[in-house]
Amino acid sequence: MFRKILIANRGEIALRVMRGCRELGISTVAVYSDADRAALHVLEADEAYRLGPAPATESYLRGDLILEVAQRSGAQAIHPGYGFLSENASFAEACEQAGVKFIGPTAAAMRALGSKTRARQAADAAGMPRTPGSVTGLASLDEAYAVAAEIGYPVMLKAAAGGGGKGMRAVFSKKELGTAFTSAASEAERAFGSGEVYLEKLIERPRHIEIQILADEHGNCVSLGERECSVQRRHQKVIEEAPSAFVDEELRRRMGEAAVRLAKSAGYTNAGTVEFLVDEDHNFYFLEMNTRLQVEHPVTELVTGHDLVHLQIRIAQGEVLPFKQEEIRLRGHAMECRVYAEDPDNGFFPSPGKITRLLQPGGPGIREDSGIYEGWVVPLDYDPMLSKLIAYAPTRDAAIARLLRALDEYVIGGIRSNLGLFRRILHDADFQAARIDTGYLDRLLAGNGEAAESEDADSETVATIAAAVFESMRPANGNGRNAAANHSEDSAWKRTARREGLRA
Amino acid sequence: MKLQIEAGGELHEIELERGETAGQYRVSVDGVSSTDVEAYLLRPGVLSLHTGGKAYRCVLEESAEGAVIHLAGKRHPYRVDDPRSLKSRRSRHAGTDGPKSVTASMPGRVVRVLAKVGDLVEAHQGIVVIEAMKMQNELKSPKAGKVVQVRAEPGDTVVAGDVLAVIE
């Protein structure tokens, strides 16, 4: 049994894993970069060790330093979270050699499924449907022309080592293929250190639906239902939900069985996700496998009632899966919003900086996995995700209503966030009717969305009156509000002190 | 107390008259309506406001960009036109005359400087590129003119509001 686990990550996922550890009576070790000394995961851990300077390559990606900390602190296992080293087979291998358990699949399974071309070969071997196209990297442009001619346009060029939409190009005709091939390959080379690209048939208006699997080290593997993640912007998920409104019992069973088959064929262990594209006729095509815990795992936890982090730890300890496939039941509906420090009104530019005001939602059916607090300065060195706001309710409609209610309670001040974007999506008739596909959000954003949220005169007046009341409470000085704004925290404290009569 | 507040693209004149008990105000907006308001500051920036038989939670946000009231999930940016403040008067009469600065719209690191002192630039021409959270943002010239100052170098860390270049 593990007594101590090192969490090789930061932000909300580090906290989420620590909570799981604590619930199992396991003590936690945090690691941090210089930019994160004041981060919540450092505050909440039982032990915390500095890795190095802010850039991830000098801190959170330094597997050697992290292993050293694990050995120095006596941690028996490392949970990698998502991103950073979570899908790095060499790191998993180094852990194995150092005698520290990596909470995730083996390096061999990761290698077999981590590269998209190798995963496509594994899909073929497991007899699961995938999009038509190549299963090895394209050696030349001529080969690309040949494959495209065979499967027919439109096609997608994708990086074998890819993720997050990098090295990816939709190609609609032969004359576009040449430039797309060169630019996708060079983008992939820059982003992943490998310029290997392959071609697949472009599925029109697909839904992104993925299957969560869990496999123990004794040959048992189950699927825990699907998540629909069709609401995306630039191939990045924005809202995820479980179950999918589009998936019926029969499709769920078929997709689940295919995912389990793939995992078993690669000797996969621990938690993983098999991603599919699903077309309008309920055909599903294997997309890729993510060999780690995913950002959106909470929606699966809520509808299955199982704690995935607990299960990951128990599997890594060598325990047998505590349930069988037929014991897994989905109940209710869960939906997650990824809250980012970015400005939807200004081209989604990142908005790092100090969180001067924070009011977080709560109440029935609301879960928030966050890594932020009032007064924290969101560093500009990492991913802009602040928090995940998740609602759980008996039905999809009720989950939407809960999220909208929670969004009204939520205030993040000092930096810009995408909270307003969620309000817009959740109020949209197409979203409410689950008429979504991976192009849905881009179409919504391209439309005249300004009209969707009309200003009502009453609240405008109340806001103006509130502004005046706040202004009247400011200490009088000759510089007006500009000076006060620059020292807002300071003056706020003075203001309170004065009101309380504590001092002059 | 009289205040000029710019909100929702309009300039409003607000008159606040304190009532007898703490937190009571008589408010008139643009001289026409007169409303009774009761307000209580729960903690810095969080105001419970009662008016017209309704209760509101008003949250004040302040940043380098300015002040915003959060009300029922919506942001209401505002600006006080303080006759005593030279700065607000100057920005009210903003035009294209005189020197204009290129300011950082977000905190980040300077990755490229696209113009040097003496360059003639067009309006909206990129001057400085800053990067934050793996995203790059090109800061553009507010007017056509000559670059008279460049205060940024690649690698510099900047905060929102920093002046990075001046165009005359």
* Domains recognised in chain B with CATH numbers: 2-89 (3.30.700.30), 98-167 (2.40.50.100)
* H/E run at residue B38: strand B33-43
A191 φ, ψ (degrees, to nearest 5): -80, -40
> Do B168 and B148 meet the contact criterion of CB atoms below 8 Å apart?
yes
How far away is chain B from the Cα of A359, in angstroms, using its nearest Cα? 9
Which positions 356-375 of A are in contact with B (Cβ < 8 Å)? 356-357, 359
B71, B58 Cβ separation under 8 angstroms: yes
- pTM for the structure as a whole: 0.85
User: For chain A, what's the residue count?
Assistant: 504
Mapped onto helix, strand or coil, the DSSP state of residue A68 is helix
**CA A105 to CA A103: how far, in whole Å?**
7
| Residues in chain A closer than 8 A to B59 (CB atoms) | 357, 359, 411, 413
> Least CB-CB distance to A380: which of B51, B105, B132?
B132
Domains of chain A, with CATH numbers? 4-103 (3.40.50.20), 105-110+205-331 (3.30.470.20), 132-201 (3.30.1490.20), 339-447 (3.30.470.20), 459-500 (no CATH)
Element (H, E) at A401: helix A396-409
Is 50 exceeded by the pLDDT of residue A352?
yes
Closest residue in B to A459 (Cα) is: B71
Nearest Cα residue to B64 out of B161, B131, B139: B161
Is the confidence at residue A491, as pLDDT, over 80? no
To the nearest whole angstrom, how far is the Cα of A455 from the nearest Cα of chain B? Answer: 9
How many whole angstroms separate alpha carbon A187 and alpha carbon B144?
34
Closest by CA to A93, choosing from A122, A124, A114, is: A114
Q: Which of A10, A62, A292, A338 is catalytic?
A: A292
Q: Which of A234, A351, A356 to mutate to test the interface with B (most CBs of B within 10 A)?
A: A351
- Tell me what pLDDT residue A187 has: 86
- Model confidence pLDDT, tens digit, residues A321-333: 999 999 999 999 9
Using DSSP bridges, classify how beta strands A77-79 and A4-7 pair: parallel, antiparallel or unpaired.
Answer: parallel
Backbone phi and psi for residue A228, each to the nearest 5 degrees, phi listed first: -100, 125
pLDDT for residue A190: 82
- ipTM metric: 0.80
pLDDT over 70 percentage in chain B? 89
Residue in B5, B44, B134 closest to A495 by CB: B44
pLDDT of B137 reads 78
Interstrand relation of A101-102 and A77-79 (parallel, antiparallel or unpaired): parallel
Using the Cβ of A43 and the Cβ atoms of chain B, whether some distance falls under 8 Å is answered with: no
Residues A216-236 have a mean pLDDT of 96
How far apart (Å, rounded) are the C-alpha atoms in residues A16 and A294? 12
Token pair in block for residue A90: 């060499």
Contacts of residue A479 in chain B, CB cutoff 8 Å? Answer: 84-85
Of residues B118 and A500, the one with the higher pLDDT is B118
pLDDT in tens, A149-164: 999 999 999 998 877 6
Q: Angle at Cα B156 formed by Cα B154 and Cα B161, nearest 5°?
A: 115
Q: What is the CA radius of gyration of chain B?
A: 21
Q: Kindly indicate the confidence band of residue B96, based on its pLDDT and cuts at 50, 70 and 90.
A: low
Residues in chain B closer than 8 A to A411 (CB atoms)? 59, 61, 70
Helix (H) or strand (E) holding A20: helix A11-23
Of A311, A25, A251, residue with least CA distance to A129? A251
**Between residues A74 and B63, which one has the greater pLDDT?**
A74
Query: Is B59 close to A461, i.e. CB distance below 8 A?
Result: no
Q: By C-alpha distance, which of A60, A28, A164 is closest to A379?
A: A60
User: What average pLDDT does this structure show over A111-136?
Assistant: 91
Helix (H) or strand (E) holding B77, with range, is strand B74-81
Q: What is the mean pLDDT of residues A108-120?
A: 91
What confidence tier does B84 reach under pLDDT thresholds 50, 70, 90? Answer: low
Pairing of strands B66-71, A155-159: unpaired
Instruction: State how far residue A405 is from chain B, nearest Cα, in angstroms.
Output: 9
* Average pLDDT rounded to a whole number, residues B102-107: 81
Mean per-residue pLDDT for B128-138? Answer: 79
Closest by Cβ to B39, choosing from A357, A410, A469: A469
pLDDT, position A454 = 55
**Shortest distance, CA A387 to any CA of chain B (angstroms):** 15
pLDDT at position A211 is: 98
Contact A352 B69 (CB under 8 A): no
Say how far apart CA A369 and CA A336 lie, in whole Å: 10
Q: How far is A173 from chain B (nearest CA, A)?
A: 30
Question: Over the Cα atoms of chain A, what is R_g?
Answer: 24
CA B42 to chain centroid: 25
Residue B9 has pLDDT above 70, yes or no: yes
A495 is catalytic: no
Cα–Cα dist A56/A364, whole Å: 37
443-502 in A: which are within 8 Å (CB) of B? 453, 455, 459-473, 478-482, 485, 488-489, 492-493, 495-496, 499
